[in-house]
Amino acid sequence: MSIALRTLDDGAWISINDSRQVSVSDVWSLTTGAFCDCSPAYVLLEAFVDVDIDGSIVVVHAVGQCLECGTRDSIERLPVGRIVNDDFYPYDPEGVQWLVEPDGERP
């Protein structure tokens, strides 16, 4: 079965198979240097711009703001969950995440 991925509601949600799964307004913790110099960076996702799948991992392009230093920037490839047997398993925003590098170069 193919996976339907899209942003919804003016970028407020990531919809996976017609179900709203990942929301803006969650605070994601990102490793040092992935977004700004804060360690870790607590980043509020403000809007989703795009969504893609990298192997089994759902990655998003979003705009966010660091709650400590105030940096506002785009996040190119934030992993937000995995597809296993056509079901989506979201990652915990509070767990430290890394950014998925393109072309399979992720750590």
Partner 1 sequence: MPTDVEHWKDELYGTEIRAEIERFAEEGWESIPEDERDAWFERFKWFGLYHQRAGQESYFMLRIGPPSGVLKPGQFRRIVEIADEFSRGPAENPEFGNGWLDVTTRQAIQLHWIRLEDVPELFDRLEDVGLSTVQACGDSWRNIVGCPVAGKDKHEHVDAGALATELNETFKQNEAHSNLPRKWKVSVTGCDEGCGQGDINDLSFEPAEKELNGETVTGYNVRVGGGLSRNEPRFARNIDVFATPEQAVDVAGGLSALFRDHGDRENRYNARMKFLVDEWGPENVRETLQADYVDFELETAGDDLRESYSYNAGDADGKHDHVGVHEQVDGKYYVGLNVLVGRIGVNDAYEIADAAEAYASGEVRLTQRQNIILTDVPEENLDALLAEPVFEEYSPDPHPFQRGSIACTGTEFCSLSIVETKNRQVRYARWLKENVDLPDGVENFHIHLSGCTASCAQPQIADVSLRGMKTRKNGEPVEALDIGLGGGLGENPQFASWVAERIPADEVPGAIATLLENFAAARDGSESFREFVLERDDEELADLIEPEETDYDDPYMHNTKRTWYPYAEDDDLEASPAPARADGTPIPSDD
Binding site for partner 1 (CB under 8 A): 4, 6, 8-13, 15, 17-20, 23-27, 42, 44, 46-47, 49, 65, 67-68, 70
Minimum distance from CB of 102 to partner 1 (Å)?
A: 20
CA distance linking residue 102 with residue 100, whole number of Å: 6
Neighbours of 5 (CB within 10 A): 19
Residue number, 50 or 106, with CB nearest to partner 1? 50
Residue number, 3 or 56, with CB nearest to partner 1? 3
Minimum distance from CB of 105 to partner 1 (Å)?
A: 26
Q: Is 44 exposed, middle or buried (0-12, 13-18, 19+ CB in 10 A)?
A: middle
Minimum distance from CB of 25 to partner 1 (Å)?
A: 4
Minimum distance from CB of 107 to partner 1 (Å)?
A: 26
Residue number, 34 or 93, with CB nearest to partner 1? 93
User: What is the phi/psi pair of residue 58, to 5°?
Assistant: -85, 125
DSSP string, 90-104: EPPTTS-B-PPPGGG
Residue number, 15 or 106, with CB nearest to partner 1? 15
